[in-house]
Amino acid sequence: MKKKPSLKDIAERVGVSTALVSYVLNGKMKGRISKEVASRIKAVAKELNYHPNQIARSLKTNKTNSIGLLLADISNPFSSQIARIIENEADKLGYAVIIGSSDESIEKSEKIIDVFLNRQVDGLILSLPANSDHIVSDLKTRDIPFVLVDRYFPAIPTNTVAIDNYTASEDVVNHLLENKYKNIGVITYDTTLVHLNERLRGAIEQTKANCKIGKVRLGHIQEDVESAIESFLNTKSPIEAIFFTSNLLTISGLKYLNKQRVIIPDDLGIIAFDKTDAFDLFYTTITYVNQPLPLLGKEAVRLIHQAISDNKKKEQIFLSADLIIRESTSRK
Amino acid sequence: MKKKPSLKDIAERVGVSTALVSYVLNGKMKGRISKEVASRIKAVAKELNYHPNQIARSLKTNKTNSIGLLLADISNPFSSQIARIIENEADKLGYAVIIGSSDESIEKSEKIIDVFLNRQVDGLILSLPANSDHIVSDLKTRDIPFVLVDRYFPAIPTNTVAIDNYTASEDVVNHLLENKYKNIGVITYDTTLVHLNERLRGAIEQTKANCKIGKVRLGHIQEDVESAIESFLNTKSPIEAIFFTSNLLTISGLKYLNKQRVIIPDDLGIIAFDKTDAFDLFYTTITYVNQPLPLLGKEAVRLIHQAISDNKKKEQIFLSADLIIRESTSRK
DNA sequence: AATCTTTGTTTAAACGATTAAGCTTAGTGA
DNA sequence: TCACTAAGCTTAATCGTTTAAACAAAGATT
């Protein structure tokens, strides 16, 4: 890889100082540079195919125009869609995005954040694993600009963009009740993650605690989903509808229900939080909570941009998700 | 964001020069530094929570320890899985990964590569859109270390890691023929991308040109898949099995076949190139070509690492994919 | 005792940009 | 004609590292 041209190379060719070249190419000191010199500099820059060395610029300006994006699991479609949106939005503001995936590990999150910070990212957009409150507090103490997306920690006031999960869950339950599904089962993760527990809480409150709950351990999804469903159905008053609080849970559940020849929606109503391409292949269309991912990403980028220029104000944004009603909750 | 401690801060506290601090923390000049000073420096570094400024280091060493990863579409599970693997592998070698997604656009690819290079990434891992040969030649001319993954340009000898698509397709056809599916339809993209056309070529050669072909335009996937399937079936000698050359095509196809109440595998055999979670929700298990993504990613990182230290040798690696046989090709 | 090594450390330049401050030269006004 | 201003450009410091080269002091060698 041969050396790229620098300001100095241009300066030498034109016969001026590097300072002048810098001023011209950055459009500074407008009315004070002679037109001829300016155009010669620009011509030579183009001729040499000059691109400023962002590393050097960063060192001087203390801005890298990059943000670190930490996701829980980049191979989950939810994460990768967010990644795509954030990357696009960030690009519009001139930020490059460095992505890391924590696989729900606290240690890995800490490590990746360290890597981000060593590379002097201007700010962080984070979707943290459970029980990582200390990471949030720490970043806050260090006054590092960051925004939480999707997953949030209400106890710590900080920039946050998330879904109004509680209300979405209320809507889910209301829809089920309106459609005469009375006996409702909720399948969710066994976790301390607030956004998931809010989904559960919404269901509990709205059913006046009249719902059954199946908790699924991370790393044992298929296994635990199956036993939850079994316990829901093999009982005197079997469940009439199941509410899955995440896309992976839904997939596992539907897979199992397929195997058990449980017919949706005749035998059982189904409602999902978040959707996936996979629903397209199921024989029935699935009713689901649609999360406004584009807005989520857009707001996250807006907030981090704001935090980078001024980290005083903290905003907490909760976006409403809407229920997309399909056939899986329309029993005859 | 308060200023982070620098070498200078440590040097001042300990009362030595920054050079010595640098030597100690980098473990250089081993036997020449007094144990006491070394340990005092290390202690102070820890106390101040010192982390070297990678930007400054990069400027000096001309290495950023970062690689740019350009994908065709990060929201496609194929891409996001590769991203995850590459990120993990790269991390093991101390590289951070900056990700960009081109949405199959040549202009966007060029722009993202520019951004990567301005940020002085040490190398590039690329999955380029169709007709972007000139990008490859250009990078080659400029002697920039890069590796092509998945998508390749045989006319230009350069570092490449890809699947042996031709052989995989041969296997697909052989399997269908062995299972008495004689009349085969192939649904693929209308593209110049070699990896996809090799899948088609494998099918054509192995069927001795006795297969029907449906070409699908990017951006009109559902529409074109449907008309292709229709033309396959509404004919005197209808197709007995369909081979889809990509995951998105398969999903669109199965979705339509579901709607049309075509029963798999009784009415029609199905075989897919690449798998997705979505298959789990289909009533029948799907026979598919399994691509060795972990190996693909691992080799890509190995090659880029090699190219970064010495860009003379070019390797072309073709990995074999294997056929996972399920029920969708087992008619009674 | 003079010289040579070794050990432990410092000096200073460099990477490529930015930018405040300074320096010419020409033009203006009195 | 002299002082002043403005235009057009340069100087030089700086960001935080790395690293070759220089240096001083102590120990070994003759």
Which residues of chain B lie closer than 8 angstroms to A119, CB-CB? 54-55, 66, 96
pLDDT confidence of residue B2: 66
Residue B219: CB less than 7 A from any atom in strand C: no
**Chain A within 8 Å of B93 (Cβ-Cβ)?**
no
d(CA A222, CA A227) in angstroms, rounded, equals: 9
A248-257: average pLDDT? 96
Contact A158, A314 (CB under 8 A): yes
pLDDT confidence of residue B31: 80
Torsion on CA atoms B161, B163, B166, B172, rounded to nearest 10:
180
Torsion on CA atoms A286, B326, A216, A260, rounded to nearest 10:
70
A228-257: average pLDDT? 96
A132-154: average pLDDT? 96
Residue B118: CB less than 7 A from any atom in strand C: no
CB-based contacts of A259, cutoff 8 Å, min separation 6 = none
**Chain B within 8 Å of A80 (Cβ-Cβ)?**
yes
Residue B303: CB less than 7 A from any atom in strand C: no
**Which residue on chain B is closest to A122 by alpha carbon?**
B1
A19: pLDDT strictly greater than 90: yes
Q: Find the range with the poorest average confidence among A17-21, A28-32, A172-176, B255-259.
A: A28-32
**Chain B within 8 Å of A280 (Cβ-Cβ)?**
yes
A1: pLDDT strictly greater than 70: no
The H or E element spanning position B216 is strand B211-216
Q: Which of residues 114-133 of B touch A (CB under 8 A)?
A: 114-115, 117-120
C8 C1' to B62 CA distance, Å:
29
Which residues of chain A lie closer than 8 angstroms to B280, CB-CB? 251, 254-255, 278
D21 C1' to B35 CA distance, Å:
24
The H or E element spanning position B244 is strand B241-244
pLDDT confidence of residue A2: 66
Contact B45, B16 (CB under 8 A): no
pLDDT confidence of residue B32: 86
A176: pLDDT strictly greater than 90: yes
**Number of A:B CB contacts under 8 A?**
147
Contact A145, A307 (CB under 8 A): yes
Residue A13: CB less than 7 A from any atom in strand C: no
User: pTM of the predicted model, to two decimals?
Assistant: 0.91
Q: Which string of DSSP letters, residue by residue, matches A41-92?
A: HHHHHHHTT----HHHHHHHHS---EEEEEES-TTSHHHHHHHHHHHHHHHH
Task: Name the band, by pLDDT with cuts 50, 70 and 90, for residue A31.
Answer: confident
Facing B87 at nearest CB: one of A55, A99, A280:
A99
Q: Which nucleotides of C are covered by protein (CB under 7 A)?
A: 7-12, 14-21
Which residues of chain B lie closer than 8 angstroms to A278, CB-CB? 276-278, 280-281
Residue A238: CB less than 7 A from any atom in strand C: no
**Chain A within 8 Å of B278 (Cβ-Cβ)?**
yes
Any bridge partners for residue A71, and if so which?
A101
Nearest to A278 by CA among B221, B244, B245, B77: B77
User: Which letter does DSSP use for residue B192 in this model?
Assistant: -
User: Which letter does DSSP use for residue A286 in this model?
Assistant: -
A279 vs B281: CB contact, 8 Å cut-off?
yes
B23: pLDDT strictly greater than 90: yes
Which of A4, A69, A92, A119 is the mutation pick for testing B, counting most B CBs within 10 A? Answer: A119
> What is the edge-to-edge ordering of all strands in the sheet holding B96-101?
A316-319, A160-163, A146-149, A123-126, A66-71, A96-101, B96-101, B66-71, B123-126, B146-149, B160-163, B316-319
Q: Which of residues 145-164 of A touch B (CB under 8 A)?
A: 145
B1: pLDDT strictly greater than 70: no
A82-104: average pLDDT? 93
List residue ranges whose Cβ is under 7 angstroms from nucleic strand D.
Answer: A 15-20, 23, 29, 31-34, 36-38, 56, 59-60, 62; B 3-4, 6-8, 18-19, 22-23, 25-26, 28, 50, 52-53, 56-57, 59-61
A281 vs B255: CB contact, 8 Å cut-off?
yes
List the structure tokens of B270: 């199905």
A294-309: average pLDDT? 97
Any bridge partners for residue A241, and if so which?
A184, A269
Quick: pLDDT tens for A8-18.
999 999 999 99
Cα Rg, chain B, nearest whole Å? 26
A79 vs B83: CB contact, 8 Å cut-off?
no
Task: Name the band, by pLDDT with cuts 50, 70 and 90, for residue B48.
Answer: very high
**Which residue on chain B is closest to A61 by alpha carbon?**
B55
Task: Name the band, by pLDDT with cuts 50, 70 and 90, for residue A30.
Answer: confident
Facing B144 at nearest CB: one of A1, A98, A101:
A1
